[in-house]
Amino acid sequence: MEEKLKRVYVPMTETGFYILFCLQEEMHGYNIVQRVKDMTDGEIVISPGTMYGTLSKMEKDGLISFIREEEKRKIYQSTPLGTEILQLEVKRIERLYRNSKGETAVGK
Amino acid sequence: MKTKNGMILSRYYTIADFEKEEAFLREQQRKGFQLKKFVLPCFYVFEACDPEDMVYRLDFAEVKKENKDSYIQIFTDCGWEYLFDVNGWSYFRKLADEADEDNEIFSDMESKIDLLGRVTKRRLVPLAFIFLCCILPQLVLQFTGMSSEHSETATFSTFFFWFFAAMFLVYSALFIEMGVGLNRLKRKYSKG
């Protein structure tokens, strides 16, 4: 099951990556929208339909879990599985970055 | 139809036409009529207002009852006004922003295609089920009944044969319309 999830989530969509990245700490949907907006200097603004859809999908797949509700806002945090998948994705992006700079695994 | 302080328009949109419905509602508000409610099967009730460029968006999110409040809250936080639900569709609106991406409730291709998937699963598949398990068998059954030796049975079957034949045509037309429409949207979204 976990292997299948890893294949589904890696490579990840940009939205998925930022949401899972932010959820390394407790946050609700709108927190994430604002945080991502700040992090990317306004280049990435996650719309509410996309946010809700991604959160519910990730919760269903066990990547994040619901912590508590504050004033109708659901607060989530990444599970160990979610963090593991995020690490895989980070490694993939690091490899992409190194390769894009002309570094290859053979040359090491 | 004009009413005391507004109007009622009748329009029919299928599940593949939600973008046309959004455009229709935006257009009415530009003319000074704001959507107040929807009455089944196909009546849009408007009230007079100052003409504004208000963007309307429809979502089909399959939200469970206990999650409805938090679902609406995310939209409210992002500046959208929630109106009501009709047949599983949630209606939202906000004043049009100069930046196009701020007028959308979906910010990436994947989530738009996910929406089409949910609509297909919850709306198109049940229709196909009724078609295959009721209309089609009945059509065959009544067709065989038409050649019955009992004249009463034959008359009865002839009536129902034509009834189900009409249903068959209506369903086929709807399927083609919706299938083609959803497919067109999917191709459009995939191109980004």
Q: How many separate domains does chain A show?
A: 1
pLDDT in tens, B96-141: 988 777 899 999 999 999 999 999 988 888 888 888 888 889 888 8
Q: Name the nearest CA neighbour of B111 among A21, A57, A89.
A: A57
Spell out which residues of chain B touch residue A51, defining contact as CB-CB under 8 Å: 74, 78
pLDDT in tens, B148-181: 788 888 888 889 999 999 999 998 998 898 999 9
Whether A53 and B78 lie within 8 Å, measured CB to CB: no
Tell me whether residue A106 is in a domain: no
- Residue ranges making up the domain that contains A79: 2-100
Spell out which residues of chain A touch residue B104, defining contact as CB-CB under 8 Å: 47
Nearest to B70 among A53, A57, A72 (CB): A72
Yes or no: say if A12 and A88 are a contact pair by the CB < 8 Å rule. no
Tell me whether residue A63 is in a domain: yes
Q: Name the nearest CA neighbour of B11 among A80, B22, B127.
A: B22
Helix boundaries (H) for B31-150: 68-77, 109-119, 125-130, 136-145
pLDDT value, residue B100: 76
What was the ipTM of the complex prediction? 0.89
- Closest residue of A to B104, CA-based? A47
**E-strand stretches of B25-161:** 33-39, 43-48, 54-59, 81-86, 89-95
Tell me whether residue A72 is in a domain: yes
B69-B73-B77 Cα angle (round to 5) = 175
- Average pLDDT value for residue range B178-186: 91
pLDDT over 70 (residue A1): no
Q: Which CATH number fits the domain that encloses residue A60? A: 1.10.10.10
Tell me whether residue A107 is in a domain: no
Tell me whether residue A14 is in a domain: yes
Yes or no: say if A59 and A20 are a contact pair by the CB < 8 Å rule. no
